[in-house]
Amino acid sequence: MEERKKLNKTLKQHWVWAIALGSSIGWGAFVQPTDWLGQAGPMGVIIGFTIGALLMMLIAVSYGILVQNFPVSGGEFAYAYVSLGRVHAFICGWFLTLGYICIVALNVSAFALMFKFVFPSFVENLQMYQLAGWDVYLVEVIIAAVTLGIFAWFNIRDTGLSGSMQFYFCVIMIAGVLLLTFLVGASPEAGLENVKPLFHPGMSSMAAIISIVAISPWAFVGFDNVPQAAEEFNFSSQKAFGLIIFALIAAALLYSFMIIVTSMTQPWVDLVDKHYLWGTAVAIKGVLGNAGLIILVVALTMGIFTGLNGFIISSSRLLFAMSRAKVIPKAFSKLHPKYKTPYVGIIFTVVLAMLAPWFGREVLMWIVDMSSIGVSIAYLYTCFTAYTFFKWSKNGVLNDKQQAAPLKKLLALVGIIASVVFIGLLLVPGSPAALGKESLIALIVWVVLGVVFYLFKYKEYHAIPKGELDYLILGEHGKNTIDEEAATQHIE
């Protein structure tokens, strides 16, 4: 057997917490509040995200169980393999790869959008063309490319460096949100009377809440970056679950604070009706002036940086794990000769994300909406795998991987149901959060590409003996399978 490549254990607990929180928040909390308000109203958004966070916590139970048992890079790719085998592992990894890279692309596009709002005369130069009603400028493309190049360099140099940066970015982001909340709340020009009506006047409160719950997999995606980095923990994997829960609570609070801040500045219905490019910035600047805008820009920048950094880490580790299992080209499992980081996956992620600004924001949003399906599929595989780990009672035969734990099995079942509901809300026609035609077309294209790629790799992938593949994907835990197979052959 060839040697299984391993990543260095350099990530500290607070860095991993910051990876989960920063990836969950990203740019959305600072750019999307007016869109969400127009969709559900202030209370509809807050209740929707609260329910979404609770559902994510139920799903996180399964993640905590599996990270503890399989602390390897690949996360959901490895979990799908454990319960359902190599075909489902590929399906899960294929969808998740798309989701992660799309989020990197959307974050860097949001960074260019922020520049366009703050420095319009600088960015709106050298217009190249228009796609789906969105003007594409060369300056935007350059800003995105330079930003991605810098983060690629940081991630290639040292995982510890990117992890520590992630923590400081999160601290600054949280401080910015709390400061905005205090300043707007204390301003005589703002007030809670502007928060009314609490729900969108044009729809039922239940429909408003459901429309926000449906996007929770997208809003909170990032906590699942923790298992992608599990192989690099320099602490016990048993602590992963607590870090995920803490990150989800913090993310839900930050989303809620930004909704409250935005809706307090002026009557939110009027704000939404004006269709500003960046409504939150207009609202805060109107109350706090340039000082408030600067605080918001700093918080947004930190949110974007944490999203970029976190998903570059997770996507490169997922590609590394899939390559180590020989399901994608071998180059992705190469480690940098000096820094021992999966540099090919980092470069690949960044290069693909650099293409995003060329297609305009509207086209990219179609792809990102579709990628929510991929994330939900990964949640489903994870919860199903955790479900198979446990028995309802001690009756019957338990194998060496199972234990009687009815509560954990029930929570995993609830996670399965929640994941199916998320997928249904996105795919069922007439749902408040159903994907648009363009997003469905993008989803079909990605599925077709996955089928073609899988058929191309089918013979090589299935030629790997199960024991060897167990070891490549699961490490020392999988190596036990090889030892058992060898012992069985010796007895025979």
Tell me the CATH number at 443.
1.20.1740.10
Evaluate if residue 491 carries a pLDDT over 50.
Answer: no
Q: What share of the chain is helix, strand, coil (3-state, %, to 5)?
A: 75, 5, 20
On whether residue 6 sits in a domain, the answer given is: no
d(CA 301, CA 345): 24
User: What is the pLDDT averaged over residues 263-284?
Assistant: 87
On whether residue 2 sits in a domain, the answer given is: no
d(CA 79, CA 412): 13
On whether residue 239 sits in a domain, the answer given is: yes
On whether residue 125 sits in a domain, the answer given is: yes
pLDDT-derived band at 427, boundaries 50, 70, 90: confident
Q: What are phi and psi of 75, to 5 degrees?
A: 50, -115
d(CA 18, CA 12): 10
Number of domains the chain contains: 1
Residue 403 or 49, more confident:
49
Tokens for 425?
A: 């809300």
Domain carrying residue 284: 13-491
pLDDT at 479: 57
Radius of gyration of the chain measured on its C-alpha atoms:
23
Give every CB contact of residue 277 below 8 A, 6+ residues apart in sequence.
113, 116, 117
Q: Collapse the DSSP code of 338 into the 3-class scheme (helix H, G, I; strand E, B; otherwise coil) and give the result.
A: coil
On whether residue 146 sits in a domain, the answer given is: yes
On whether residue 1 sits in a domain, the answer given is: no
Query: Could you give the C-alpha distances from 145 to 208, 347, 350, 351, 487, in angstroms and in order?
Result: 37, 12, 8, 8, 54
pLDDT-derived band at 395, boundaries 50, 70, 90: low
On whether residue 5 sits in a domain, the answer given is: no
On whether residue 331 sits in a domain, the answer given is: yes
Tokens for 194?
A: 């502007």
| 203-234: pLDDT as tens digits | 888 888 988 887 787 788 888 889 998 999 99
Give the Cβ contact number of residue 202 at 10 Å.
Answer: 9
Of the listed ranges 283-292, 414-423, 424-433, the one predicted with least confidence: 424-433
The helix-helix angle for 279-324 and 159-186 (nearest 10°) equals 160
